[in-house]
Structure 1
């Protein structure tokens, strides 16, 4: 056995005074490994209670005002009414409204009107596209989803070293996976070298 080899005793409940004295005399470490108790967690964040309440944007009295003064009522479902003048891609009306509202201050339930940059195009079947002068609506927010989630730390373990004088080394809190890794490392480091023939 190597000269610097140290023994290691591990318990889940502790050691008697005589056992601690004998272990110290023989150079054996005495450690306790046990599940953490509530008092071990004092001063540590263990549980996080999260409640999220979302708001959903709705709008009423939605319409598109064209540059020629014509006003076109808009379905609340935001169908493809508009087209981007550069990319020629369809633009949902509600997407254009949401983007505009996000960039401007507005009061809940009060009418708003704004221009788009660049000006979107309103397309009719078999007709030339017409530029949009304003998008108008009366936005309001209603309660949406409510989610509640409790995040709790997994059951951790306490690993500490006991000494005959009654002194306990600093406590260490490990998640079980980390503890398994350290235990495997400890076994690897303390494995005795093979005896020579």
Structure 2
């Protein structure tokens, strides 16, 4: 559903409203602070390479867990896991991976949080902090099965660092969104048969 995207975008809208009212900053500058710019072009090439490598890692990692675990309702991919592969389900996976989760999470974690941290701390401090914040909600996977700690901590932290690097270096959330969204899509499709 669109609920998750709305939940992720609401803090950005509140931030924009507060910054506009308190500091008198106009929309374009707020958008730049949030990474809503095209950014530096070379980082899109990096994003595609990193997305491809990430899809290989994520696919392998998710295929290694038992179907009974991936089908648990607490798992983000549960509505795809074990389903038969079809054109409609692939379109659903693209929508879910690119927009419902990928875009929303990138806007919140890289747009708002990494952007804010990046204006206050040195690059690596900001990047590590935003990756840790991004990892926190993913640790809920541990409630399903503690043996999934590499998926709950290792993958999100690594992807958080990669997407944070892309965001902080390019000035845009969009290269990281490509990595994040494509990996979510690949994970959803890999969970189908």
Under a length normalisation based on structure 2, what TM-score does the superposition of the two structures give? 0.21
Q: Which has the higher contact order (CA 8 A, sep 6+)?
A: 2
* Higher radius of gyration, 1 or 2: 1
